[in-house]
Amino acid sequence: MRPGVKITVDNKDSAPHTVTASGGKGGFDTGTIKGGATATFTAPGKPGSYPYFCDIHEYMKGKLTVRG
Ligand SMILES: [Cu+2]
């Protein structure tokens, strides 16, 4: 991803999930995305590695990489 681009995530599960920046680093949080729904958020403005998790299922984790 490039800094500041819009990212759309598609929840293909039937359960609700979120994409929430870990420790607030990067400042993104989709809020609850219902099953089958999409959400859009803005990528962080600085290159780096931004871990995220699901605020509903905290064992679900991922990482967003922003390249300058
Ligand atoms: Cu979840």
Q: pLDDT tens digits, residue range 18-53?
A: 999 999 899 999 999 999 999 999 999 999 999 999
CA 52 to chain centre: 6
Q: Are 66 and 1 in contact (CB under 8 A)?
A: yes
Domains, the chain, ranges and CATH?
6-66 (2.60.40.420)
From the CA of 37, how far away is ligand 1's center (Å)? Answer: 13
Q: Which residues of 48-66 are buried (b: 16+ CB within 10 A; e: fewer)?
A: eebebbbbeeeeeeeebeb
From the CA of 18, how far away is ligand 1's center (Å)? Answer: 6
Is 90 exceeded by the pLDDT of residue 61?
yes
From the CA of 55, how far away is ligand 1's center (Å)? Answer: 7
